[in-house]
Amino acid sequence: MSRHLDRLRRGERWWAAEIALRLAGLAMLVSFYRVVLIAHNWVIAAPRHSVGLAIFALCAVSMTLFSAGLGFLFEGPGLFRMVPIPRKSAYF
């Protein structure tokens, strides 16, 4: 597994990773859509009590799926590239 991650970090073009990560991003966006439909149906139903922690957790999961799905779909293996940090940076 390490050699595959090293290959992604170097930024080498690898078609299997391109396809797998972009399909994973697409699957995350489909999951996001389904979770949002569940949240929407839950919110528009006549509430018998106030909205609890569960709906907030559901919305947090949906936004995590949305942001990760877009990242994997548009960037793919580029998410794992090493980014050079300048010497004058506070984190160097």
pLDDT in the model for residue 49:
67
Range with top average pLDDT, 9-13, 26-30, 52-56, 79-83:
26-30
pLDDT in the model for residue 77:
84
Question: Does residue 8 surpass a pLDDT of 80?
Answer: no
Report pLDDT digits (tens) over 46-90: 666 676 788 889 999 999 999 999 999 999 888 888 788 888 877
pLDDT in the model for residue 66:
97
Secondary structure (DSSP) of 12-73: ---HHHHHHHHHHHHHHHHHHHHHHHHHHHHHHS--SS---HHHHHHHHHHHHHHHHHHHHH
- The conformation of residue 89, written as its DSSP 8-state character, comes to S
Question: Does residue 92 surpass a pLDDT of 80?
Answer: no
